[in-house]
Amino acid sequence: MKLGVNIDHIAVLREAREINDPNPLDALGICKLAGADQITIHLREDRRHIHDEDAKNIINLSALPVNLECSINDEIIKIACELKPHRVTLVPENRAEVTTEGGLDVKGNFEQIKKVVRLLHKNEIEVSLFIDPCEEMIKLSKELKCEWIELHTGSFANIYAMLFSGLDRTHHSIKQLELSRDELTKKLKKSIREIKKYSKLAREIGLKVAAGHGLNYQNVELITTIKEIEELNIGQSIIARSVFAGLEKAIIDIKELIK
Ligand code: PXP
C-alpha cells in the first residue's frame, strides 16, 4: 500500500501569518527521503492554503509524483491542465467547509465531470474521483474512464474517533451521533465491510483504488487490512505529528504502521 503525503497543512500554518514560512516546497525532499510515494496537494478555489505558485513549484520540482486535488470548476481545471501533475483527484468543494466533507456527486455532475475528465486525459493527466463507498459512484467512475477512485474514509474515521479516542471533535462536521459503544462498534464494522466491498468491486471492474480522509496513527491499521486499496493519502495527522516529532519521523512512523 503506497503513501501519498498531503502537505497542505504546511501551507495552513504559513497562511496563519500570511508570510513565507514554512514553505511546503521544503517538504519535498524530506517526504522522499522518509519513504513517501507521492505528494498530494489541494488547490482550493479560495486558495486558503496552497497557492498557484506553490502548486507550480511543487509539480515542477517534486521527484515524487504529484496528485493534485481540485474541484471541477473550469478555472481550476484550466490551471491543472497547464500544470500537468501526474494525477488530478476531483473533489467536491464548498467554501464554507473546514475540509472536504463528502464524496463527489458523480451522478449529479455527470456531464461536467465527463468534460473535465476528457480535458485532463487530453493533457495526459490520470484522473481519480474522490467518492463515498457506493456502488453507483464506482460504476459511474468507470463509465467516465477514470483510472482511479479514492474512497472517502471520513465517516469511518469519525466513528473510530467516537469509539476509541473519546473525542467530541470529529474530522469533519457530520452530526455528532448519540450512540452506545455497541452501536458504534457495529457501525465501525459495517463501515470497514463497506470500504472493503466497494474496493473489491472497483478493482474487479478495472479501477485502481486509493483511500483517504481522517486517517491517522490509530485508525490506519484497520484500513490496511483491505488489500484491494493500493494507496492512502494522509495529511492532517502526519503534519500534526511532525510538529512534535519532525516530518521525517512522522512519515517513517506511518509507513511502518502501513507496512
Ligand atoms: N484525500 C482527499 C481527497 C482529501 O481531500 C484530503 C484532505 O485534503 C485527504 C485525502 C487527506 O485528508 P486528511 O488531511 O484528513 O488526512
Architecture of domain 2-258: Alpha-Beta Barrel (3.20)
Beta strands of 92-172 (E only): which ranges? Answer: 126-131, 148-152
Active site residue 69: yes
Which three three-digit cell numbers place residue 120? 485532463
For 175, other C-beta atoms within 10 Å of its C-beta total 6
Average of per-residue pLDDT across 236-258? 98
Beta partners for 129? 90, 149
Share of the chain above pLDDT 90, in %: 88
pLDDT category at 223 given cuts 50, 70, 90 is very high
Active site residue 135: no
- Kindly report, residue by residue over 42-89, the tens digit of the pLDDT: 999 999 999 999 999 999 999 999 999 999 999 999 999 999 999 999
Q: Which atom of ligand 1 is nearest to the CA of 171?
A: 15
Q: Hey, CA dihedral for 212, 150, 63, 61, is it positive or negative?
A: negative
| Atom 3 in ligand 1: residue holding the nearest Cα | 130
Helix axes 74-83, 110-122, angle to 10 degrees: 20
Place of cell 473489491: 200
Q: Is the distance from CB of 89 to CB of 113 less than 8 angstroms?
A: no
Report whether pLDDT(10) > 90. Answer: yes
| Atom 6 in ligand 1: residue holding the nearest Cα | 213
Which member of 49, 93, 213, 228 is catalytic? 213
Closest CA to 35 of 15, 68, 64: 64
Q: Write the CB contacts of 135 (distance below 8 Å, at least 6 apart in sequence).
A: 198, 201
Domain residue spans of the chain: 2-258
Q: Could you tell me if the CB of 219 is within 6 A of ligand 1?
A: no
The reported pTM is 0.94
- Kindly report, residue by residue over 134-185, the tens digit of the pLDDT: 999 999 999 999 999 999 999 999 999 988 876 555 544 445 557 888 999 9
Q: Write the CB contacts of 103 (distance below 8 Å, at least 6 apart in sequence).
A: 92, 130, 131, 132, 134, 137, 151, 152
